[in-house]
Structures are given as structure tokens and as C-alpha cells.
């Protein structure tokens, strides 16, 4: 009896943590920095930081899909740099709108290449994408000869810096649209159910007639697609596509966001909402540390620690829910 009660208590704690843990941490972070610095709570800073969080949040959608199907993509930082320099260099030839489109299409294709390697050759994802991380970055350097591509196109710049109704930064709107679309795909379409099934039990999914390889490949392609959108926004924010600076440590931030958001490494069900809140937590942490003038070396240490803590918290949640061991 006692054991049963214990288990139910644990389960409830797990549910509470799963539903309210992240927003609570987010509020904690906001309150902490608000006390430390009045500059942090200004509308201007909060709104622009929300805008910047799109950089991590959008790619976190694709990464959530990829991790749910049991893989990783650690090449996304270099992918972002490569497609940004390629797309922005096309602007003089094909114009801004097509430039943006080509950036997104290219990123989708690169994601698909990763997916092909992982599924058709059965090479573990981490090492394929580690190789691609270097290849994409090297190609970005070689293509531009290590010179940034300056972006003057109005449309491209508007996507990253424009404001809807003069107040709401456009990246926030784009992030919202992406999340709603992704939510519909994940929870209201067969594809979403295939993704969940593939992640939870690939063998069972295959036996019930799902083409597991295609689902995984599609997840990688979607990952690329969202990186493409983030590439346009990020390079527009910077005003230039710099082959060396764009997307440094990006894979790390995005994977941290997804894991902190409650998606289990190794596949299974995931949480898009969790990824979104976690992406904001990470962005606001970075912003706050910047305002408090924490040195970049400490920030490096902090990002690593946050990642490990995120994984530990995640394990704790699944343990409390009775779905895993500690």
C-alpha cells in the first residue's frame, strides 16, 4: 500500500514538474536578472531578446523532430553559415525573395543529405553530422574566401529586423507561425504520429508498415528547413553573412533547448512547447549574462553546465513518471 502511494506521489511530482517546471525556471531567470539589473527589464530589451530567441527556437523545432526519431544533427551551426553565405550571395542575381527561398531550399537539401547518410548507410548520426559540421564550415569559408557577404536587400533585412504594426518584431511572428504549423503536423497529421511511433519503438513502427527510414530522413530534411529560416533571420540581424561567425556553438544551444524542453535523448515522444520555452530560457540567460558583463569564458562553462543539468532534470522527470531508471 505504502509503496503504491509512494509511486503515485512520485508520478504527480513528475507531472507537475513536466507541466510547470520550465515556465517556473523561466520566471526564475527573469526575476533573477530583473533584480540584478534594471536595464534587463526594459521593454526594449525584453522585446528584442524575445526576437533573438527565434534564432534558437526555430531550429529547435526541427531538432525536436530529429531527436524524437532517435537521432541528432550537430552540423546545423555550419549548415546555417553555409546556406546564409550561399543564399545572400545569390541576391544580386535572383533578387531578395528568391534568395530567401533558395536559402531555405538549400538548407532542406543539406538536411536531406545528412538523413541519407544516417538512414541508408546506417552510420550513427552524431559522427555523420560531425563530419558534415566541418565540411559545411569549410565550404562556407572556401566559397567566400573568408569575407563576409554584406546584405543590402530590403526584403531579406525586413525578415530579421522588421516590425509588424510597428511594434512586434517579425521574428516573433515567424516563430509563432512555425510553432503552430509544427504543432499541427506533429499532433494532427499522420506524419506526426509516424514520427512519434518511429521514436518510441522503431521496430514496432516498421512492422506496422511505416517506412522508418523515410520518416527519419524527413525529420532531417525538416531540421534543415527550419535552420534555413533561422539562417535568414540571423544573417538579417547581423546585416551580413559571415562564414566564420554565423552559427558558432549553435548546435549546442539548440540541442540544449530541446533536451531542457523535455524531449528524451534516444527517441520517443517530445514536447514542442517545452523546446520553445527552453529556447527562451537559454536566450535570456545569454542576454542577462551579457548585461551583467559575465566574461565569455564563464559563459562557455555555463552553457556546458546548463546542458548537463538539463539532461539530469529530464532523467529525473522520466524517473518520477515511472518511465525510466535514475
Binding site for other proteins (CB under 8 A): 72, 74, 117, 121-124, 126-128, 130-135, 137-139, 141-142, 146, 249, 252, 255, 259, 265-266, 295, 297-305, 307-308, 311-312, 315, 325-326
Shortest spacing between CB 296 and other proteins, in angstroms? 8
CA 46 – CA 137 distance, rounded (Å): 32
Is the Cβ–Cβ distance between 284 and 266 less than 8 Å? no
Measured CA angle at 47 (ends 41, 91), to 5 deg: 145
Shortest Cβ 249–other proteins spacing (Å) = 8
**Quick one: 19 or 303, whose CB is closer to other proteins?**
303
Minimum gap (Å) between residue 286 Cβ and other proteins: 14
The rounded distance, in Å, linking the Cα atoms of 24 and 15 is 14
| Residue with Cβ nearer other proteins (224 or 243) | 243
Closest to other proteins by CB, 12 vs 120, is: 120
Q: What is the DSSP string of 253-310?
A: HHHHHHHHTTPPTTSS---HHHHHHHHHHHHHHHHHHHHTT--HHHHHHHHHHHHHHH
Q: Judge contact between 13 and 320, C-beta under 8 A.
A: yes
How many CB atoms are located within 10 Å of the residue 138 CB? Answer: 13
Q: Which is nearer to other proteins, 71 or 271 (CB)?
A: 71
CB 241 to other proteins: min, Å: 16
Taking the complex as a whole, the smallest distance from the CB of residue 320 to other proteins amounts, in Å, to 15
165: Cα within 13 Å, side-chain hemisphere? 4
Nearer CB in complex with other proteins: 19/200 = 200
Amino acid at each position: 500500500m505504502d509503496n503504491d502511494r509512494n509511486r503515485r506521489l512520485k508520478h504527480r511530482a513528475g507531472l507537475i514538474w513536466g507541466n510547470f517546471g520550465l515556465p517556473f525556471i523561466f520566471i526564475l531567470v527573469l526575476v533573477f536578472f530583473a533584480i540584478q539589473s534594471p536595464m534587463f527589464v526594459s521593454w526594449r530589451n525584453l522585446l528584442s531578446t524575445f526576437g533573438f530567441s527565434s534564432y534558437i527556437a526555430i531550429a529547435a523545432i526541427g531538432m525536436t523532430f530529429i531527436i524524437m526519431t532517435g537521432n541528432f544533427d550537430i552540423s546545423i551551426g555550419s549548415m546555417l553559415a553555409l546556406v546564409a553565405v550561399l543564399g545572400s550571395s545569390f541576391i544580386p542575381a535572383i533578387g531578395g525573395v528568391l534568395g530567401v527561398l533558395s536559402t531555405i531550399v538549400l538548407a532542406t537539401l543539406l538536411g536531406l543529405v545528412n538523413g541519407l547518410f544516417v538512414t541508408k548507410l546506417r552510420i550513427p548520426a552524431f559522427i555523420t553530422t560531425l563530419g558534415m559540421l566541418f565540411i559545411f564550415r569549410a565550404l562556407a569559408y572556401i566559397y567566400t574566401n573568408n569575407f563576409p557577404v554584406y546584405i543590402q536587400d530590403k526584403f531579406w533585412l525586413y525578415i530579421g529586423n522588421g516590425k509588424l504594426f510597428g511594434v512586434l518584431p517579425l521574428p516573433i511572428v515567424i516563430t509563432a507561425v512555425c510553432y503552430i504549423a509544427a504543432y499541427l503536423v506533429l499532433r494532427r497529421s499522420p506524419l506526426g504520429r509516424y514520427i512519434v511511433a518511429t521514436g518510441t519503438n522503431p521496430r514496432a513502427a516498421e512492422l506496422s508498415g511505416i517506412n522508418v527510414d523515410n520518416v527519419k530522413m524527413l525529420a532531417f530534411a525538416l531540421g534543415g528547413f527550419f535552420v534555413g529560416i533561422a539562417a535568414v533571420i540571423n544573417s538579417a540581424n547581423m546585416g551580413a553573412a559571415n562564414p566564420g561567425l554565423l552559427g558558432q556553438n549553435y548546435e549546442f544551444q539548440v540541442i540544449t533547448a530541446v533536451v531542457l524542453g523535455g524531449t528524451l535523448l534516444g527517441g520517443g515522444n517530445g514536447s514542442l512547447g517545452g523546446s520553445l520555452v527552453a529556447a527562451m530560457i537559454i536566450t535570456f540567460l545569454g542576454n542577462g549574462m551579457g548585461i551583467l558583463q559575465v566574461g565569455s569564458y564563464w559563459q562557455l562553462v555555463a552553457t556546458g553546465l546548463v546542458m548537463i543539468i538539463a539532461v539530469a532534470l529530464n532523467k529525473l522527470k522520466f524517473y518520477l513518471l515511472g518511465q525510466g531508471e535514475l
